[in-house]
């Protein structure tokens, strides 16, 4: 392929205590991409407390940004994205889990999609069974909110069009939920998202994921993003439950108690109020959409 048809892109790598692997990760990326592509590698050292800073100081061919303290995975990505100069953004991890040799394939697919996700559904996927259980429920809920099949909700190997991504920066969290949020945000705003199966390997070093704490954060996040981007999907079922309970108590009032009780009236008012709130939230979302 002639050079002028190759995409130009910025690779953003958030790093926190990755002294064992970050140099090898950067070297591997250069081996894959040189000399065919015009690119930059932005490494954001997110307040590492090991020797990552010293290791990065000796790594050539990167733009190094230092956070003075640990601000979070999403915060590191946002810092790198703001500094990126090219129209396509690639994000990947420093820990050796993602097959970065697939980046050229994802870049080629970005010509026909707003976001390309390296979906961890390939033939060789090593994934903790403990993380599979909450992930299964979270993915199903996210699919219900977005009305879309989601093969991988929070993969950390992705390609974005920068002009689309920066629109969502204000609502993206500073935590590991960054990738979950951008998935829901883009799907609920009708952007084209392509999922490309990739392999996934054991990480080098200790995982930063806290299964229970991060799962609770994911649940909170998905509820918040559902309310933000798809309020009808969240509130109308709640209104439906209140209305169903109202019909049950009304039936009992008419045929059993032969009296209209306060609980029946309260359930009816609750159903009406939640329905009106859902419609107002949807109207506000549509009128104030910035995406």
Predicted confidence (pLDDT) per residue in 109-155, tens digit: 999 999 999 999 998 988 766 667 777 888 988 899 899 999 999 99
Query: Containing domain of residue 264, as a range?
Result: 231-287
CB 205, CB 130: distance < 8 Å: no
- Alpha-carbon distances of 119 from 150, 154, 214, 277, rounded to whole Å: 9, 9, 20, 36
Tell whether the model's pLDDT for residue 207 goes beyond 70: no
What is the mean predicted confidence (pLDDT) over 234-246? 94
Average pLDDT over residues 40-62: 97
291 token code pair: 């995406």
Domain check: are 237 and 191 in the same one?
Answer: no
- pTM to 2 decimal places: 0.84
Pair 43, 123 in one domain: yes
pLDDT digits (tens, 9 = 90+) for 67-107: 999 999 999 999 999 999 999 999 999 998 999 999 999 99
Q: Please write the tens of the pLDDT for every residue from 147-187.
A: 999 999 999 999 999 999 999 998 899 988 899 999 999 99
Residues 6+ apart with CB under 8 A from 84: 10, 12, 40, 42, 162
> Do residues 192 and 59 both lie within one domain?
yes
Kindly state the average pLDDT of the residues 18-26: 96
Same domain, 215 and 202: yes
> Which of 42-51, 62-71, 117-126, 203-212 has the weakest average pLDDT?
203-212
What pLDDT is stored for residue 1 in this prediction?
Answer: 38
Q: How many domains does the chain have?
A: 2
Do residues 236 and 200 both lie within one domain? Answer: no
Residue 210: pLDDT above 80? no
Last residue of a domain, one of 229, 250, 266: 229
Residue 189 Cα distances to 42, 89, 164, 184, angstroms: 28, 19, 11, 8
Contact 79, 47 (CB under 8 A): no
Least confident of 44-53, 77-86, 202-211, 246-255: 202-211
Q: Are residues 211 and 247 in the same domain?
A: no
| Residues 6 or more apart in contact with residue 152 via CB below 8 angstroms | 117, 118, 119, 120, 121, 195
* DSSP state letter for 125: B
Beta bridge pairs of residue 118: 196
For all residues of the chain together, what is the average pLDDT? 90
Same domain, 199 and 254: no
Highest mean predicted confidence (pLDDT) among 57-66, 133-142, 171-180, 196-205: 57-66
Based on the fold, state whether residues 104 and 177 are members of the same structural domain: yes
- Read off the CATH number of the domain in which 209 is found: 3.90.550.10
Query: What is the average per-residue pLDDT within 41-50?
Result: 97
- In sequence order, what are the beta bridge partners of 11? 41, 90
- Final residue of a domain: which of 229, 247, 262? 229
* Bridge partners for 66 per DSSP: 45
> What would the mean pLDDT of 189-214 be, rounded to a whole number?
80
Q: Are 150 and 278 within one domain?
A: no
Are 157 and 272 found together in one domain?
A: no
How much is the CA Rg of the chain, to the nearest whole Å?
Answer: 23
Which residues are CB-neighbours of 133 under 8 A, at least 6 positions away? none
Q: Are residues 27 and 143 in the same domain?
A: yes
Residue 290 vs residue 117, higher pLDDT: 117
Domain end marker among 196, 212, 229: 229
H or E element in which residue 33 lies: helix 22-33
pLDDT band for position 282 (cuts 50, 70, 90)? confident
**212 pLDDT tier (thresholds 50, 70, 90):** low
Is 159 found in the same domain as 89?
yes
């Amino acid at each position: 392929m002639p050079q002028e048809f190759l995409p130009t892109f910025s690779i953003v790598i958030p790093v926190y205590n990755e002294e064992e692997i970050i140099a090898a990760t950067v070297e591997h990326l250069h081996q894959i991409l040189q000399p065919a592509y015009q690119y930059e590698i932005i490494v954001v050292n997110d307040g590492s407390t090991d020797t990552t800073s010293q290791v990065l100081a000796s790594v050539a061919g990167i733009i190094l940004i230092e956070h003075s303290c640990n601000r979070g995975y999403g915060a590191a990505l946002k810092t790198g994205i703001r500094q990126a100069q090219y129209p396509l953004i690639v994000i990947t991890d420093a820990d050796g889990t993602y097959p970065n040799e697939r980046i050229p394939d994802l870049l080629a697919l970005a010509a026909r999609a707003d976001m390309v996700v390296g979906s961890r559904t390939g033939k060789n996927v090593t994934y903790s069974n403990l993380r599979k259980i909450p992930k299964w429920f979270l993915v199903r809920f996210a699919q219900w909110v977005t009305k879309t099949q989601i093969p991988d909700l929070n993969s950390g190997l992705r390609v974005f069009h920068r002009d689309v991504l920066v629109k969502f920066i204000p609502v993206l969290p500073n935590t590991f939920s960054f990738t979950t949020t951008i998935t829901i945000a883009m799907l609920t705003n009708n952007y084209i998202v392509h999922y490309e199966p990739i392999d996934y390997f054991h990480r080098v070093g200790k995982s930063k994921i806290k299964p229970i704490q991060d799962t609770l954060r994911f649940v909170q996040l998905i509820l918040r993003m559902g309310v933000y981007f798809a309020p009808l999907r969240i509130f109308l079922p709640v209104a439906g439950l209140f209305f169903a309970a109202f019909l049950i108590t009304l039936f009992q009032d008419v045929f059993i108690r032969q009296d209209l009780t306060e609980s029946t009236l309260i359930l009816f008012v609750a159903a009406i109020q939640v329905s009106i709130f859902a419609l107002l939230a949807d109207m506000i979302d549509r009128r104030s959409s910035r995406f």
